[in-house]
Structures are given as C-alpha cells and as structure tokens.
Amino acid sequence: MSKTYKIGIIKGDGIGPEIIDEAVKVLDAVSVSMGFNLKYDEFLLGGAAIDATGVPLPDETIQGVKKCDSVLFGAIGGPKWDNLERHLRPESGLLALRKSMGTFANLRPATVYDELVNASSLKPSVVAGVDIMVVRELTGGIYFGQPRELLEDRAYNTMIYTREEVERIAKVAFDIAMKRNKRVCSVDKANVLEVSQFWRETVIKVAADYPEVELTHMYVDNAAMQLIRDPKQFDVILTGNIFGDILSDAASMLSGSIGLLPSASTGKGVGLFEPIHGSAPDIAGQGIANPIATISSASMMLRYALGECEAADKIDDAIKKALHEGYRTGDIGDYDAKEIVTCSEMGDIIADYASR
C-alpha cells in the first residue's frame, strides 16, 4: 500500500494563498507520479486568523500542526493589521508558532540558477555557482529575550543564548556541512557582545566532534560585506536569530529575486517549510507573484521532513527546466525570458515537468 503523509497547510495573507495553491499543485503532480499520497489539513495564522478568530495564532492551529507530518506555509502580514498591538499582530503569531513547534533551526539555501546569473544585482562572474546554506538560530536571541520593554522615553530588548541553544544549532550546521563541502563559517559580533563571545566559545567546543569540518569565524559586519564581495567563499554560514535574518535576506539577492528562495524551519518535531519572502501586499491578488520560492520549499519538505528525496529532485529539476525553457514571472522577467507567465501558469508548467 502506498504511503500517505498528512501535510498542514497555512496559506496566510497577501500572496500567501496564491503561492501555496501552486506549491500544492506541484506536490499533487509529483506525488501521483512517485506513488505516495498527500492529505492536506488547512490552518489559520496571521491576519487571516485575526479576521476569523481575533488572534493571530488560534489554539486549533497550535494543536493541529502537531498532528501533521509536516507543514507548508505561505506568508503573513499586511497593512490592514499593522496598527494592532504588538502581541496581536500577524508576525507575533508566526514567532509564537515557530516557538510552539520547537523549530529552532532555519535553513536557508542561497543558490544561483545558471539561467538567472544576469538577474542578480551583482556581476555574473561574482554570483555564478554560488551555493550557500545559511543556518539561522530561530527561537532564541534578541527576538525572544526577556526582559523587553517599550517605555515613554526609552526601550530595550535582551539578547540571550543558552549553551543548549547554541550547541543544538551548531550541530545542525556541522551535520549539514558534512553533507556539503565541509566548511562552516560562524558569524557573530564577539568583539562587542558577551553573548557573541559565548556563542563563539560554544561553537568551537561543538566543532571538536567534527574534525573533518573546517570552522572559521567572522564578525557580522564583515560577513555582510563578504557576502556581496565574494559569496563563493561560503559553504555553510552558522549564525544567530537577528544576524541570520539580515544576512539571509542579503544572500537572497545574490539569486536575483526574493521570490526564488525557500526555507526550512526544523527542530525536534514537525518542520515548517516556507518561502523566505513576506506576504507582498503590493502585488497580492494580481496573479503575478513568483511561486518558485514556495514550490522549492515544498521540495525541501519532501527531502528533509518526509525523506522523499527522489520526488524533491523531480521538483528541483522541474523548476530548473521551466527557467531553462525561458518561462519567467514578472520579478525575473528582464532576464532571458521567452515568455512572461502568471503565478498560476508557472505552477502549471512546473507541475507538468515534475509529473513526467
């Protein structure tokens, strides 16, 4: 009997529903051709959840996703909910969901498709062949540290990391490096911050268990510069929550569009797979969003959460073929396009190639 996986689907806000529909289309196509079944269960998060229930993360979502094998997520947020109190905003729902799922490791590949070397704002010679995996700590650091307060005449947050938090994310980075080019660059601000000094010392201790992996350290300001100057020097970048947030967005531009890059948030339990971009309210509802980041996130889900690597390869190859044949959504439309297609047409094309 063929396997059945239960997939939690969170469409979210803005372009979220549009891009998730395309990823599901591709998942359906590949699951049929590979002989496994996917059963979907939909949950609310963010603005859509606020409108329906009054809170950004309803209890049904927290409980429901725990019963899934994996979760595919679009994006949340938008101007409609921007003026709510912080704890009621869509973003708070996402942060709390990640925390409740224990997804402490965020994996963000930054790869440059050969067909799109001209799409990057950097020279083709700088970006051709770039293949970086940013491993970002996701449930600790300054985004979660207590105390935090917004007062009349001052405000503060706390950047805190425990030994356990640093060790477990470092292990994820070293394990991934072992399957890649065996190089980890740990990014911190150890020249200024005690928390970074602690991060560095802890990473060095974890590295002792991975003698084959070369460990280097870089300050975050230098890392931002090096990513733009010579991105090919990096294999795995290991970093904390806020530095990873910023660096992975910078790394995303190497590829030419934020609409191309996937991410995986994993930990001990169910993983959350999502594009790195937001809900893009400026283009929502126009059918022009690039669904590739989300389709690629679905591929990461098959590979890392379900172990369906062959199906994941099929999706990755289908994306490359669609780009190779010259199909482009508007965001990458200026680069060797044969035909500009809509979000839904791009989904159809990739689903078709993935089903063969």
Q: Which of 273, 300, 355, 353 is nearest to 111 (CA)?
A: 300
Residue type, position 176, single letter: I
Cβ closest to ligand NAD, residue 15 vs residue 130:
15
Residue numbers annotated as active site? 143, 189, 221, 245, 249
Q: Which of 98, 127, 105 is nearest to 239 (CA)?
A: 105
Minimum CB distance to ligand NAD, residue 45 (Å): 9
Minimum CB distance to ligand NAD, residue 260 (Å): 8
Minimum CB distance to ligand NAD, residue 104 (Å): 16
Q: What is the DSSP string of 50-101?
A: HHHHSSSS-HHHHHHHHTSSEEEEEE---GGGTTS-GGGSHHHHHHHHHHHH
Distance, CA of 348 to CA of 308 (rounded, Å): 21
CB 20 within 8 A of CB 298: no
Count CB-CB contacts under 10 A for residue 29.
23
Cβ closest to ligand NAD, residue 84 vs residue 126:
84
Query: How many CA atoms are closer than 13 Å to the CA of 113, on its beta-carbon side?
Result: 26
Minimum CB distance to ligand NAD, residue 288 (Å): 7
Distance, CA of 254 to CA of 124 (rounded, Å): 10
Minimum CB distance to ligand NAD, residue 237 (Å): 19
Cβ closest to ligand NAD, residue 215 vs residue 349:
349
Cβ closest to ligand NAD, residue 15 vs residue 105:
15
Distance, CA of 89 to CA of 78 (rounded, Å): 10
First CA to last CA distance, the chain: 22
Minimum CB distance to ligand NAD, residue 114 (Å): 20
Distance, CA of 317 to CA of 321 (rounded, Å): 6
Residues whose CB falls within 8 Å of the CB of residue 317, separated by 6 or more in sequence, listed in order = 353, 354
Distance, CA of 107 to CA of 10 (rounded, Å): 19
CB 104 within 8 A of CB 169: yes
For residues 65, 74, 106, 55, the Cα torsion angle rounded to the nearest 10 degrees is -60
Positions in the binding site for ligand NAD (CB under 6 A): 15, 19, 75-78, 91, 94, 258-259, 274, 277-283, 289-290, 293, 331
Minimum CB distance to ligand NAD, residue 257 (Å): 6
Cβ closest to ligand NAD, residue 106 vs residue 196:
106
Cβ closest to ligand NAD, residue 280 vs residue 322:
280
Total residues found in the chain within this entry = 356
Cβ closest to ligand NAD, residue 15 vs residue 203:
15
Q: Which of 270, 306, 275, 353 is nearest to 26 (CA)?
A: 353
